[in-house]
Amino acid sequence: MKSLKYFFKKAKKEKWAIGQFNFSTLEQLKAIVSAAERLKSPVILGTSQGEVNFFGIEEATLLRDLYRKKFPYIYLNLDHGKDIDLIKKAIDLGYDCVHFDGSILNLQENLKITNKIVKYAHKKGCLVEGEIKSIHGGSEIHKELPKEVLFEDIEKAKEFVKKTDIDSLAINIGNLHGVYKKPIRLNIKHLKKIKEEISVFLVLHGGSGTSKKDIKEAIKNGVVKINVNTELRIAWKKSLTGSLKKKIIKPYKILPPVIKAISDLVQEKIGIFESINKN
């Protein structure tokens, strides 16, 4: 079984990225897995705290294991973990990665807790993603852009990476969570500076609604993991609303178009990330 770290290294070397696709319902999960299987692309199933508290953390790990029998390179990440007990539980249950979001803490406090999590996670073969500066927005449709654009403080990031043994870092290069009226543009110049100074794997949050050209540039310049959530949520709601309008009541007739709509979108993202046929 090839680890997630194996694919991060491979992606970094070959300049492609692994998509993290979040889910909180079985249709979303089936859609992501079927696209991964069809395209032979490694994927990360993302669960935020809210998503996994709804879906069930044990259900998520058991289903990952089950789907791995069809296609092995399916990994689980706890997205924006803040609750230490939930992070520990995810590690104990065999999550492949946990993202500790200590961005609301001061640097010293963030360092301290991140280090504790890293020690616990690494003993169990789980990777840890760190975060220093909070990424704006939520996985929603936003009316207005935030007033300021955030950029990673490279000196702080260097110190953070030096003093922790994190595997990856969620960075700020103009990326935003959620979808806005216009495509989000990334600052590739800033990414190049980060790449020169930081050796850990670089993660781009806010993969929804971002300029396709910028995503491709970001991958060329060292981003190996891209998180997509909002666009999948929109596809889920739109297709489900459409499907519910039909005069049928059988769930197994209503839901297949929903799975297809999400799966087509995941397929499109996998194509942009160029993670097809990797093993």
Residues of this chain that interact with Zn ion (CB under 5 A) are 205
Of the pair 43, 259, the CB lying nearest Zn ion is at 43
Of the pair 30, 205, the CB lying nearest Zn ion is at 205
> Active-site residue 79, yes or no?
yes
Please provide the DSSP assignment of the chain as one string.
---HHHHHHHHHHHT--EEEEE-SSHHHHHHHHHHHHHHT--EEEEEEHHHHHHH-HHHHHHHHHHHHTT-S-EEEEEEEE--HHHHHHHHHHT-SEEEEE-TTS-HHHHHHHHHHHHHHHHHTT-EEEEESSPPPS-SSB-SS--SS--B--HHHHHHHHHHS--SEEEE-BS--SSB-SSPBPP-HHHHHHHHHH--SEEEE---TTB-HHHHHHHHHTTEEEEEE-HHHHHHHHHHHHHHHTSS---HHHHSHHHHHHHHHHHHHHHHHHT-TT--
Of the pair 81, 258, the CB lying nearest Zn ion is at 81
User: Which residue's CB atom is positioned nearest to Zn ion?
Assistant: 205
CB of 127 to Zn ion, least distance (A): 16
CB of 205 to Zn ion, least distance (A): 3
Of the pair 34, 233, the CB lying nearest Zn ion is at 233
Q: Which residue of the set 79, 96, 167, 214 is catalytic?
A: 79
CB of 177 to Zn ion, least distance (A): 5
CB of 277 to Zn ion, least distance (A): 27
Residues annotated as catalytic are 79
